[in-house]
């Protein structure tokens, strides 16, 4: 969204700019000529900008020289009412602190990386005699070997599936492993050698794990040769079933090696490739992860930035934030030279405890790979812009259909879900020109005294809580993001529409409102659109606007059903053991594994309870008395 100038030269006086410049200059005079991070705040105490400097005083003082500042920074100075600074030992330390604080506070005038998800890894555990192969996100606290990062979960699961076909390592949890009495389906389809029921020895299974680790370390050619030799040996002794098994594993290994999205010529080690493309005021940055010469996937990012910024500046700010939560490869290839290349290399070297080299190839195989990555970024940018344009066209059609005064930037869709009146949940999803804005989705656990299945009362509670909160939290006029709804869409018919309008009337709010009800026999394509001050409308089944509204409604329904299932699953996982005093997670797990269910624990005698590992006589008596004491 383009920034709205807060100080047009024709209508606004220079007084706010001068006032901000005075604040900045006075603050700068108190700063030393040493490295550090500075923050600018507006009158509400919100961070406007966070920056780092080798010499704090000189850098901050430069903002007071108004004639040299671009329009974007003049607006920032005009809003500045106070500043803070943190001193660091080195500029590299300041760079990493700056990136960390930007991710935390999301200042308006900084480049903002809007994807804060942890990256997935493949983990081969080492805390069990028979290691497990699994996908992992978050802190790497569990003992084992981690391989990655991968760009997304898709390549992780594809690789795990291939590794299971080739090396037949288990992926079941330790609890499931301990409870098995006979091989599961994974064994019968040759995805696991069933160590849970001793169909393979510890030594043989260890060889499988060692081969899998070799493959993940990039030694796939060596492994392929070993498998080929074993296949030939089995064939020579006419053991064709075993030979066929090795043949299938070799084919699976070849398939995962061929699953590449970009030419790997010139890359044989661990490399991160970061390429950017800028057009129409929006940058797209694509990151490729190569480990052991293999492509671990790529992902496109669309950081928020000012339209006046150039790509090298955006790329520079992006990298500092990107590597806050991800380890950097020993070599990082960039599509463009960045201002703080040497400084970022020094900072990442310190953070990763090994040398990290950042280069921008100018010729040769690596330059060709970078050019391919730039083309990937350009294509992702084009797709994003096309999707944005389609969404904007649909929002324009809604504006025309409902005769709104302006195109809605933020549309909120509401739905409810319950199971026989229990685990009731209301949800809100948000859509705009950029598509579904998942970080703004909200779940509302129904708290009021509501009769089972009363959808109208559930809707009234959800809308009242959401809109009341919006009223109480004063809208931030300096924010680029619109957090107030321009249009409300309700999944339902006239009754739901009336309930929603009642909430708006009670809160004295005027927000356009629409409800979508299913057609005859709940057929998709025959929906009715209901409005407060107009007759219902039924759009043609082939109308693109109807498809857009169906997608929005279905997304709300999906989110509601998913949230309700999660609540139901969490409730089912609770048992009577949760309320037994002195029984923690470890003992609870041991009891459930031994007896099979909480009910069986309740019926057990003291001598039976004492057979469970970790349960003493005193603990057994306490558990028995809890369930059998007359209350």
pLDDT beyond 90 at 449:
no
Q: Where are the beta strands (DSSP E) in 356-396?
A: 357-359
pLDDT beyond 60 at 432:
yes
Structural domains in the chain?
15-105 (3.40.1440.10), 121-258 (no CATH), 271-382 (3.30.420.340), 411-473+482-570 (3.30.420.340), 576-628 (1.10.150.20)
pLDDT of amino acid 630: 41
pLDDT beyond 70 at 550:
yes
pLDDT of amino acid 603: 80
Residue 433 CA to residue 389 CA, distance in Å, equals 7
pLDDT tens per residue, range 475-491: 444 445 668 999 999 99
pLDDT tens per residue, range 522-539: 556 688 999 988 899 999
3-state helix, strand, coil in the chain (%, to 5): 45, 15, 35
Residue 614 CA to residue 594 CA, distance in Å, equals 12
Give 599's strand partners. none
Better-predicted residue by pLDDT, 129 or 584: 129
Residue 133 CA to residue 209 CA, distance in Å, equals 9
pLDDT tens per residue, range 93-118: 999 999 999 988 989 899 988 766 77
What percent of the chain clears pLDDT 70, i.e. is strictly above it? 87
The pLDDT mean for the chain works out to 85
Average pLDDT over residues 276-305: 89
Residue 553 CA to residue 556 CA, distance in Å, equals 5
pLDDT of amino acid 427: 92
The alpha carbon dihedral of 52, 55, 57, 60 has a sign of negative
pLDDT tens per residue, range 6-46: 333 444 445 677 889 999 999 999 999 999 999 999 998 99
Three-state DSSP class for 478? Answer: coil
Least confident window among 75-84, 158-167, 574-583, 596-605 = 574-583
pLDDT of amino acid 1: 36
pLDDT beyond 50 at 178:
yes
Least confident window among 490-499, 568-577, 585-594 = 568-577
pLDDT tens per residue, range 361-372: 999 888 999 999
Contacts of 564 (CB under 8 A, 6+ apart): 417, 418, 419, 423, 425
pLDDT tens per residue, range 125-165: 999 999 999 999 888 889 999 988 888 888 788 888 888 88
Q: Which segment, 217-221, 325-329, 611-615, is predicted with the most confidence on average? A: 325-329
Average pLDDT over residues 390-415: 93
pLDDT of amino acid 267: 66
Tell me the pairing of strands 357-359 and 271-279.
unpaired
The alpha carbon dihedral of 316, 321, 326, 327 has a sign of positive
Contacts of 368 (CB under 8 A, 6+ apart): 263, 265, 266
pLDDT of amino acid 419: 66
Q: What is the pTM of this model?
A: 0.71
Better-predicted residue by pLDDT, 631 or 293: 293
pLDDT of amino acid 5: 38
pLDDT tens per residue, range 195-249: 999 999 999 999 989 988 888 877 766 777 777 888 888 888 888 777 877 777 7
Average pLDDT over residues 539-559: 90
pLDDT of amino acid 4: 38
pLDDT beyond 90 at 334:
yes
Q: Locate tokens 């493309």: which residue?
A: 277
Omega of the bond leading into 149 within 30 degrees of 0 (cis): yes
pLDDT of amino acid 261: 46
């Amino acid at each position: 969204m383009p920034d709205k100038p807060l100080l047009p030269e024709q209508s606004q006086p220079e007084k706010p700019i001068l006032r901000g410049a005075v604040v900045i200059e006075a603050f700068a005079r108190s700063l030393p000529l040493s490295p550090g991070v500075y923050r600018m705040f507006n009158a509400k105490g919100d961070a406007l900008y966070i920056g780092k400097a080798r010499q704090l005083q000189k850098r901050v003082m430069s903002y007071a020289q108004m004639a040299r500042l671009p329009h974007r920074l003049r607006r920032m100075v005009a809003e500045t009412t106070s500043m803070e600074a943190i001193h660091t030992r080195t500029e590299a330390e300041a760079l990493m602190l700056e990136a960390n604080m930007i991710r935390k506070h999301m200042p308006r005038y900084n480049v903002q990386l809007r994807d804060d998800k942890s990256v997935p890894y493949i983990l081969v555990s080492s805390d069990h005699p028979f290691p497990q192969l699994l996908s992992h996100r978050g802190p790497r606290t569990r003992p084992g070997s981690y391989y990655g990062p991968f760009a997304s979960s898709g390549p992780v699961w594809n690789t795990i599936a291939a590794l299971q076909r080739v090396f037949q390592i288990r992926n079941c949890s330790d609890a499931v492993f301990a409870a098995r009495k006979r091989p599961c389906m994974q064994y019968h389809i040759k995805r696991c050698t069933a160590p849970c029921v001793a169909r393979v020895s510890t030594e043989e299974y260890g060889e499988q794990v060692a081969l899998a680790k070799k493959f993940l370390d990039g030694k796939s050619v060596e492994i392929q040769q070993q498998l080929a030799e074993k296949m030939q040996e089995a064939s020579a002794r006419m053991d064709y079933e075993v030979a066929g098994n090795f043949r299938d594993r070799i084919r699976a290994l070849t398939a995962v090696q061929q699953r590449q999205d970009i030419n790997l010529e010139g890359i044989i080690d661990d490399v991160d490739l970061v390429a950017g493309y800028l057009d129409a005021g929006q940058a797209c940055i694509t990151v490729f992860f190569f480990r052991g010469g293999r492509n671990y996937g790529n992902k496109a990012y669309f950081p928020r930035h000012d339209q006046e910024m150039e790509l090298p500046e955006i790329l520079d700010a992006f990298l500092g934030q990107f590597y806050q939560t991800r380890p950097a490869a020993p070599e990082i290839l960039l599509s463009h030279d960045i201002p703080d290349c040497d400084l970022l290399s020094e900072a990442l070297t310190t953070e990763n405890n090994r040398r990290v080299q950042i280069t921008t190839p100018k010729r040769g195989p690596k330059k060709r790979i970078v050019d391919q990555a730039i083309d990937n970024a350009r294509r992702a940018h084009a797709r994003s812009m096309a999707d944005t344009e389609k969404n904007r066209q649909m929002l324009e059609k809604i504006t025309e259909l409902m005769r709104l005064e302006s195109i809605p930037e933020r549309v909120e869709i509401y739905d409810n879900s319950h199971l026989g009146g229990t685990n009731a949940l209301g949800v809100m999803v948000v859509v705009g020109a950029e598509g579904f804005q998942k970080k703004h989705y909200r779940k509302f656990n129904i708290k009021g005294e509501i009769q089972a299945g009363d959808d109208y009362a559930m809707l009234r509670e959800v809308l009242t809580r959401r809109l009341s909160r919006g009223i109480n939290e004063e809208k931030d006029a300096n924010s680029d993001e619109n957090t107030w709804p321009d249009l409300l869409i309700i999944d339902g018919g006239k009754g739901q529409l009336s309930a929603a309008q009642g909430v708006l009337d009670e809160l004295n709010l005027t927000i356009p409102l629409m409800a979508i009800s299913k057609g005859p026999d709940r057929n998709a394509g025959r929906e009715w659109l209901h409005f407060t001050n107009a007759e219902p409308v039924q759009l043609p089944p082939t109308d693109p606007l109807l498809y857009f509204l169906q997608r929005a409604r279905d997304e709300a329904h999906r989110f509601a059903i998913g949230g309700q299932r999660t609540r139901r699953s969490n409730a089912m996982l609770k048992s009577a053991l949760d309320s037994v005093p002195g029984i923690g997670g470890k003992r609870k797990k041991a009891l459930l594994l031994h007896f099979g269910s909480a009910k069986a624990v309740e019926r057990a005698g003291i001598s039976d309870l004492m057979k469970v590992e970790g349960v003493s006589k005193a603990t057994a008596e306490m558990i028995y008395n809890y369930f059998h004491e007359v209350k």
